[in-house]
Amino acid sequence: DIKMTQSPSSVSASVGDSVTITCRASQPITKWLAWYQQKPGRAPKLLIYLTSDLQSGVPSRFSGSGSGTDFTLTISSLQPEDFATYYCQEANSFPSFSFGGGTKVEIK
């Protein structure tokens, strides 16, 4: 099984700040990495797939990068609606896949 580790588990930031979240896989997953945003009481929403491709309708302030085992999600110029929990998801052995533990982006 591939284990996904996210860091930090939480981060405090202000509107307008840039935030970077890291996801590390326990073994190489090439490009098979996605990011989701989840708000309390809501289903996750797909933001980025294949490491860096933006899902339709997602603002360009969200970007992803990485390869192999280390990946990042960057939110440039945080907006009020961006305060949420973010999860990475690997799919190296799709249809089997797994998620990271989540990073909560809180208002400073």
Partner 1 sequence: QLQLQESGPGLVKPSGTLSLTCTVSGGSLSTSDYYWGWLRQPPGKRLEWIGSAYSSGSTYYNPSLKSRVTISMDTSKRQFSLNLTSVAAADTAVYYCAKLRISTAVAVDWGQGTLVTVAS
Residue of the chain from 14, 40, 80, 94 that contacts partner 1 (CB under 8 A):
94
Q: How is residue 57 written in tokens?
A: 């309708």
CA distance 61 to 58: 8
The DSSP symbol for 61 reads T
Number of residues near partner 1 (by CB under 8 A): 25
CA distance 42 to 31: 27
Query: Is residue 87 close enough to count as binding partner 1 by CB under 8 A?
Result: yes
Q: Would you tell me how many other CB atoms lie within 10 Å of the CB of residue 86?
A: 24
Query: Is residue 66 close enough to count as binding partner 1 by CB under 8 A?
Result: no
Give 83 or 99: the residue with its C-beta nearer to partner 1: 99
Q: How is residue 43 written in tokens?
A: 């289903």
In the shown chain, the binding pattern of residues 6 to 45 toward partner 1, with x for contact by CB under 8 A and - for none, equals --------------------------x-x-x-----xxxx
- The partner residues of 96 in beta bridges, in order of sequence, read 93
Q: Which residues bind partner 1 (CB under 8 A)?
A: 1, 32, 34, 36, 42-46, 49-50, 53, 55, 87, 89, 91, 94-102
